[in-house]
Amino acid sequence: MERVVRRSQLPYVITAGFSAHMKHAFGPALPVGTGGLAELLDVWISDYIPVSQALQSLEEVAPVSLPVIAVSYIEKSTPSLQVSHRYSTYEVLLRADARKQADIERACTGLLASGSLAVQRKGKMKNFDLSRYLGSKPKTELMEDDLLRLGFVLIADENGSLRPENLLDALSGYPDRLDVVSITRVRLSDSL
Amino acid sequence: MQSLSLWHRVEPLLRFVERPSRYINHEYNAAQSSESADYKVTLLYPDTYEIGQANQALIILYQIIRDLQGCSVERSYLPWVDMMALMREKSIPLFSLESCSPVAAFDLVGITLPHEMAATNILEALDLAGIPLHSTQRGDSDPLVLAGGPGAFNPEPIACFFDAIAIGEGEELIVEVVEMHRQLKAQGANRQQILEALSSIEGIYVPQFYAYDRLSGRLEPQRDCAASAIRKRIVKDLDAVPVPTCPIVPYVDVAHDRLTVEILRGCTRGCRFCQAGMIYRPVRERKADTIINAIANGIACTGFEEVSLTSLSSTDHSQIAEILRRANNLLSGTAVGVSLPSQRLDAFGVEMAQLIAGEKKAGLTFAPEAGTQRLRDIINKNVTESDLLSAVYHAYTAGWRRCKLYFMIGLPGETDEDIQGIANLANAAYLAAKDAVPDEQRGSVRMSVSVAVFVPKPQTPFQWMGQIALSEIQRRIELLKKSKLHKGIDLHWHDPATSLLEAALSRGGRETSQLIEAAWRGGATFDAWTERFNLDIWLDAARNCGVDLQALASRDYDCSGPLPWDHIECGVEKEYLFKEWQNAQAGVTTEDCSFASCTACGVCQDLDVQIALAGDYRG
Ligand code: SF4
């Protein structure tokens, strides 16, 4: 995205110091292998450019598959995206029929009833309290071509966050592995 | 070719593999896959996306083919082992990035030959693509498999895997190959007719038309259409060739992730170990105006945060100071840095140190290559200890706190004193660096010494001599490790086993292909990756083929006899290389013809080309 901003010729601010670079900051990183439909980035610019003009400059030079959707100004005092935007909404596409949908629903209920999810991180087991790290019960929706949409919100805090594949692994095996087609973060927000 | 996209089968695999971004395409400036093109090319780099994406030759060829009416061009890379395993399990063939089509469905597959260690990856790529490995096994429905790149100057070890090999610079050659192949296909020509026609293009070598002749000891043409020697192609006026200013901008970190502007081609310094110095002769520079325009347009079109002014020896450009000054002015306040890939010691003074510094101090590399003047004279590296000390002093005065020094061990004529000389020279350079910085910053002075093992290369004055034995290389590395280096110097050395294989392959003849194929069948791939390289596989393969890897690496060729690459002409006469070999043995140096007079290497007369300097004569 830094390269998109440079191509847009917006008057970006550069940091002072030995290794000068564009002043910008990303929101929480997307897990590897996950698509993103609405990622966020803070960029500092030195002159006021009307929002529509800034958006147009960015749109013109963004890759087709990495379009800039919206631009807005924020207060200088706004906390960083890493701190403020902790709610990630994911949509997972799976190959599944109605029977499998029912299995997954049952697996979700079972998981929530257990209250927590143990995940291995860097060789250690870590327990995530689902009431804190999972926004609500995952929702399923059957679509055309034997595809099933599974939607859920994961919440990050200073102690860490669940990754979508942790949840999918936990739902797997009921009764067999999930046949995942894609995982996409569709929203990154500061509240549920 | 109708849409054959494999994406629906590839996408589900991505969450199970490392770095899925290697396979997703859609980067800024990537070509659109064109359904309407009647001729489709894929350029295949035989390594991962990160290694091949920024390859300069591919960037150039991609742009040229994309601009040809009715042609489309895509990229293919070898997937990493995790992805390949999944693809083989699911029977998914090697695919291109842009349209995710099977590589075997293209009209032309152009494969880069970056270095010897990519040999097994080429076989892996062909096999994964479902293309028969040997040119002679392919039929009319298979694509034309073309190779090109620096590895083509001794093509024999991999020759039988290719239908045609392009020798030399590809800008004009690729257009001729594409136009001819496309026309012949449209006319319904069969594979043999196509290969015969292609072999008439200057610079195209069709290996299956040549066979070993016992009498001459050379590969001789077996068809009338095949020339007795294939002469390299060359771009006479580099300045007239457009600089690619809209290269693909990757989403992820790749090797050489920056805008590159090639400021000159060729180098006539005449280092006797250096193949690039011989095969890319003579020097042809781009003009300062051309370069500055390319930087401005390139940064606007890519947004890169760094531009590298590339060549074999960028500080040798006759207008380098002007170019750096103008580039720094142009990029001032943008946080875009200017870098040079390596700095010539004797050209790195106060002014150069300040000009390269700019807003960002990118890595700084000097290559004295050998530890003593005696050995530097043997290899014709015409720099002195005082050149190094003054370059380091100026660099650290200008603000650098870290630099890298490159050396080689195993050079012809090397003794233990030369090994100790590496440590002595590095220590002296380190002290010069400390002298240059204020007292309170001396603790931050760092230097790294990187030592490669010398691999004799074809088309150089050292082409006749073998590599020293592995055990001796190991002894010399130990000697260097024991020599006393200052605490602030880190020592790194290349794996000698890798260099042994490189040497065994680099000067091999056609029979070497059996060894490569046996190693690949034994499981060798990604040999250039330390974590993947397995010498045992190669030793087994050598045993099965009845050859000795060490003997191949250390064989000496008779200076008056034939060489396996005699039919490939880079323009530099064999007699000149031999004279240079004799000069090396006598410790006599040879001047750079871009600074002094012609030393009669033969390339200018042979290829009807001239040294083309943009500024004043360098001498
Ligand atoms: S022919 Fe002479 S001028 Fe030309 S590259 Fe060789 S030595 Fe230099």
**Structural domain contains residue B457:** no
Verify that B247 and B347 share a domain, yes or no: yes
**The tokens of B176 are what?**
């001729």
Look at chain B and report how many structural domains it folds into.
2
Distance CA B166, CA B203 (A): 6
Q: Which of B191, B208, B231 is the last residue of a domain?
A: B231
How many other CB atoms sit within 10 Å of the CB of residue B23? 21
Q: Answer yes or no: is pLDDT of B546 > 60.
A: yes
CATH of the domain at B339: 3.30.750.210
Among A32, A47, A168, most B C-beta atoms within 10 A, so best to mutate, is A32
Atom of ligand 1 nearest to the CA of B281: 5
Exposed, middle or buried, B175 (CB in 10 Å: 0-12/13-18/19+)?
middle
Q: Given this model, what pLDDT does residue B343 score?
A: 74
- Residue ranges and CATH numbers for the domains of chain A are 1-81 (no CATH), 86-189 (3.30.70)
Distance CA B287, CA B294 (A): 11
Q: Using H for helix, E for strand and C for coil, what is the string for B113-129?
A: CCCHHHHHHHHHHHHHH
Q: Mean per-residue pLDDT for B249-260? A: 90
In A29-95 the beta strands, taken as DSSP E runs, fall at 35-36, 41-43, 87-95
- DSSP-based three-state secondary structure for B207: helix
Verify that B36 and B138 share a domain, yes or no: yes
Contact B64, B71 (CB under 8 A): no
Q: Answer yes or no: is pLDDT of B3 > 80.
A: no
Share of chain B above pLDDT 90, in %: 83
**Structural domain contains residue B65:** yes
Verify that B303 and B196 share a domain, yes or no: no
pLDDT digits (tens, 9 = 90+) for B59-96: 999 999 999 999 999 999 999 999 999 999 999 999 99
Q: Given this model, what pLDDT does residue A175 score?
A: 46
Distance CA A142, CA A147 (A): 6
Verify that B305 and B345 share a domain, yes or no: yes
Verify that B186 and B297 share a domain, yes or no: no
Where residue B224 falls among pLDDT bands split at 50, 70, 90?
A: very high
The DSSP symbol for B347 reads G
**Structural domain contains residue B553:** no
**Residue A181, min C-alpha distance to chain B (Å):** 5
Distance CA B592, CA B589 (A): 10
Verify that B121 and B94 share a domain, yes or no: yes
Q: How long, in residues, is chain A?
A: 192
**Structural domain contains residue B143:** yes
Verify that B92 and B218 share a domain, yes or no: yes
Using a CB-CB cut-off of 8 Å, the residues of chain B touching A22 are 305, 335
Where residue B360 falls among pLDDT bands split at 50, 70, 90?
A: low
Q: Answer yes or no: is pLDDT of B174 > 60.
A: yes
Domain with B314 in it = 236-361+589-619
From the list B151, B218, B168, the residue with the least C-alpha distance to B509 is: B218
CA distances from B459 to B11, B544, B575 (A): 45, 30, 11
Verify that B83 and B225 share a domain, yes or no: yes
B12 contact A CB<8A: yes
Q: Given this model, what pLDDT does residue B346 score?
A: 78
Is the CB of A3 less than 8 angstroms away from the CB of B304?
Answer: yes
- DSSP-based three-state secondary structure for B393: helix
Verify that B224 and B240 share a domain, yes or no: no
Where residue B359 falls among pLDDT bands split at 50, 70, 90?
A: very low
Average predicted confidence (pLDDT) for chain B:
93
Average predicted confidence (pLDDT) for chain A:
90
Verify that B116 and B74 share a domain, yes or no: yes
Q: Given this model, what pLDDT does residue B617 score?
A: 64
Q: Which of B231, B254, B281 is the last residue of a domain?
A: B231
**Residue B441, min C-alpha distance to chain A (Å):** 15
Q: Provide the greatest CA pair distance for chain A.
A: 61
- DSSP-based three-state secondary structure for A40: coil
Q: Given this model, what pLDDT does residue B363 score?
A: 67
Query: Across the interface, which of B20, B28, B333 has its CB nearest the CB of A32?
Result: B20
Q: Which of B196, B231, B266 is the last residue of a domain?
A: B231
**Structural domain contains residue B212:** yes
**Structural domain contains residue B101:** yes
Among A4, A9, A12, A19, most B C-beta atoms within 10 A, so best to mutate, is A19
pLDDT digits (tens, 9 = 90+) for A27-63: 888 887 788 998 999 999 999 999 999 999 999 999 9
Where residue B564 falls among pLDDT bands split at 50, 70, 90?
A: very high
Share of chain A above pLDDT 70, in %: 97
CATH of the domain at B23: 3.40.50.280
Verify that B159 and B295 share a domain, yes or no: no
Share of chain B above pLDDT 70, in %: 98
**Nearest protein Cα to ligand 1, atom 2:** B598
**Structural domain contains residue B368:** no
Q: Given this model, what pLDDT does residue B217 score?
A: 84
**Structural domain contains residue B415:** no
Q: Give the number of beta-carbon pairs within 8 Å between A and B.
A: 66
Distance CA B604, CA B232 (A): 12
Q: Given this model, what pLDDT does residue A177 score?
A: 73
How many other CB atoms sit within 10 Å of the CB of residue B562? 15
A18 contact B CB<8A: yes
Is the CB of B303 less than 8 angstroms away from the CB of A61?
Answer: yes
Q: Answer yes or no: is pLDDT of B142 > 90.
A: yes
Query: Across the interface, which of B26, B333, B335 has its CB nearest the CB of A63?
Result: B26
Q: Given this model, what pLDDT does residue A182 score?
A: 87
Q: Answer yes or no: is pLDDT of A174 > 60.
A: no
The DSSP symbol for B23 reads G
Verify that B19 and B68 share a domain, yes or no: yes
Q: How long, in residues, is chain B?
A: 619
Distance from first CA to last CA of chain A, Å, rounded?
Answer: 26
Q: Given this model, what pLDDT does residue B618 score?
A: 60
Q: Mean per-residue pLDDT for B138-165? A: 97
Where residue B214 falls among pLDDT bands split at 50, 70, 90?
A: confident
Q: Answer yes or no: is pLDDT of A144 > 90.
A: no
pLDDT digits (tens, 9 = 90+) for B383-421: 999 999 999 999 899 888 889 999 999 999 999 999 999
Within 8 A by CB and 6+ apart from B250, the residues are: B27, B49, B53, B54, B257
Q: Answer yes or no: is pLDDT of A82 > 60.
A: yes
Where residue B344 falls among pLDDT bands split at 50, 70, 90?
A: confident
Q: CB under 6 Å to ligand 1: residues?
A: B 268, 281-282, 593, 598-604, 611
Residues 93-132 of A with CB under 8 A from B: none
Q: Given this model, what pLDDT does residue B340 score?
A: 85
- From the CA of B611, how far away is ligand 1's center (Å)? 7
- From the CA of B588, how far away is ligand 1's center (Å)? 18
